[in-house]
Amino acid sequence: MFIGKISSSSSHVDYICQVYGPGEAAIVPQPEDYGFGTFVGVEQEQGGYLVGVINNTTLLNPEFGNLGPRLSPREELAVFSPDYLAEKVTLVAVTILGMVDVAGDVQQGVPVVAATVDARVRKLDREEVIRFHEGSAGLRVAYLPMLLTMPPPLAPHLLLRILAHLRELFPAEARRLEILGNNLSWKSRVEPVG
């Protein structure tokens, strides 16, 4: 399911996705489709896709605080001002964790190519998330060191959310993932204390 399109970036791996609103997609995504820790694919023009994870949400409402007089009531804007744009949007931050190329080969870590403006973003299904994490020796999470360098306060929660999701997908690795999660949880509670 497509949830939106890339609208901007702050680095090679940090992007902002504008979530589709009513009238922009056949199926309007619901909040659970772009929730915190959701794995997404950013479509590439040459084929394949970048794999990322949603790590933040921003609600944008330019009308907030605009209490001045209106020439037309909101209900009549479609009739009297058909070019009026609804500027309320939901933006989600996406951190890229790797990519899947045209041949289906998986690379975890910083990809060579970047996303483009207006690239479509879709929620990955269960099989795609599993395929992205399967290595020759079992579960592979080579992107974890990159996520560990993200600034608090959301980084520890994102890591714990990812590990909990991977425990569901890889039950044979549940014990190791639980130990890693416990260490990260302990570190996130102790580090702020200093």
pLDDT given for residue 104 in this prediction = 93
pLDDT the model gives residue 183:
86
The DSSP symbol for 50 reads: E
- pLDDT for residue 67 is more than 60: no
> According to the model, what pLDDT value does residue 71 have?
60
Selection from 108, 118, 91, 95 nearest residue 14 by Cα:
95
- pLDDT, averaged across the chain: 88
Q: What is the mean pLDDT of residues 30-57?
A: 97
pLDDT higher at 155 or 191? 155
Region 171-186: mean pLDDT is 90
- Separation CA 4–CA 90 (nearest Å): 10
Cis peptide before 153 (omega within 30 of 0): yes
- The span from the CA of 110 to the CA of 20, in Å, is 27
Would you state the pLDDT for residue 165?
Answer: 96
Containing structural domain, residue 7: 2-193
Average pLDDT over every residue of 132-137: 90
| Average pLDDT score over residue span 168-178 | 94
Helices (H), the chain: 77-80, 126-133, 144-148, 154-169, 174-190
Q: How many domains does the chain have?
A: 1
Name the more confident of 69 and 118: 118
Tokens at 98, concatenated: 């790797």
